[in-house]
Amino acid sequence: MQPLVLASSSPYRRILLDKLQLPYSCHSPDIDESPYTDESATQLVMRLAAEKARAVAVQHPGSVIIGSDQVAVLNNLILGKPGTKENARKQLQQASGQRVTFLTGLCTLDTLNNHAQTEVIPFYVHFRELTAQMIENYIDKESPLDCAGSFKSEGLGIALFEKLEGEDPNALVGLPLIRLISMLNNININAI
């Protein structure tokens, strides 16, 4: 089997990839993640997933590189990682009672033949009506400052939601494993 490399520094993506019980290494891509002018959220995550994979491929010839990128979209605006409590507060206030779309770009790059498979996997989160106190309590308990949309669905963030919709709940965390398994199967890397 070709070596697998996860082009990410995200501990959340590593935890998800561990579920497949395949040997892999991690290499953090060093790319500019700024959106282009007039680039849609779908175009952005597709481009960044592929750019992350290609950036890491330079140091890992002969490997299969997995790149992924995610954004949250609310009313056609991209919500990034909040970085601060104030930004997290604003994002959760905006999401209150709304449906937020999470788009995850996924790319596998087989460096032996330079063949890339790239897709965008959507996932939808319907937020409860959140009070200011609920938001403060949540941010204090979980500190989701490094998560798109300001929550961790694998933790207490689940209490913020009314409903989840999508093909793969792992997509919400940042690595759609169902689609990844299919992509890896296409290049003869099988989890089972």
Backbone angles phi, psi at 16, to 5 degrees: -65, -45
Q: Which residues, listed in sequence order, are joined to residue 99 by a DSSP beta bridge? A: 126
Determine which one of 18, 30, 69, 110 is catalytic.
69
110: annotated active-site residue: no
Cα-trace Rg, the chain: 17
The set of residues, in sequence order, having a beta carbon less than 8 Å from that of 82 and lying 6+ positions away, is 88, 90, 91, 144, 145, 147, 150
CA distance to 2, 19, 114, per residue, from 62 (Å): 7, 23, 10
Active site residues: 69
